[in-house]
Amino acid sequence: MIILGLDPSLSCTGWGIIRAEGSRITHIGNGQVPTDAKMPMTERLAALQQALAAVIAAHSPDRAAAEEVFVNKNPQSTLKLAQARGAVLAACGGAGLTVNEHAARLVKKAVVGTGGADKTQVQAMLKILLPGAKIAGADAADALAVAIADAHLSYAPGAR
């Protein structure tokens, strides 16, 4: 099973792809899709959708996973996140991918063992779980964590 993990953001969306075979996971690829804040919103969203469609076409994942939406204190930030998420989901939908959604605390718990883990702890665990993987940045790391959590949650007895 090839799983595409996604960390949607308007400024820089992370993606990570793993292969899950039972409880065993291996790294396939990861990256980040930044957008230019000076570009019009429609162009940024289109660029994001097109870049992720290219990632999907290149790696042919079986399904995707993304963190559930959280609400920021700033309504504008929440709206921009939702728009970026829409572009990400549209790319997945266009490829016929099912997208599983997981709460951030559940992702951290599945990867690190505690839902209160910080980014440093998640990244340290990724080095253990995916030895030798070159991670493109923090957003790509978050996306890989989502993919790993999806694999673990799907493999766990009684899951899905």
Closest CA relative to residue 24, chosen from 157, 160, 151: 151
Q: How many Å apart are CA 160 and CA 150, to the nearest integer?
A: 11
In degrees and rounded to multiples of 5, residue 51 shows phi and psi of: -65, -45
Binding site residue list for Mg(2+) = 7, 67, 139
Between the CA of residue 8 and those of 26, 43, 67, 128, 160, what are the distances in Å?
22, 16, 8, 24, 24
Of 118, 139, 142, 150, the catalytic one is 139
Residue 32 is classified by DSSP as E
Residue 67 bears catalytic tag: yes
* Secondary structure letter of residue 39 according to DSSP: S
Binding-site annotation: residue ranges: 7, 67, 139
Q: Which of these is catalytic: 21, 36, 67, 142?
A: 67
Q: Among this protein's residues, is 7 annotated catalytic?
A: yes
Q: 30 pairs with which residues across the strands?
A: 16
Q: How far apart are CA 146 and CA 153, in angstroms?
A: 10
- Tell me the catalytic residues: 7, 67, 139
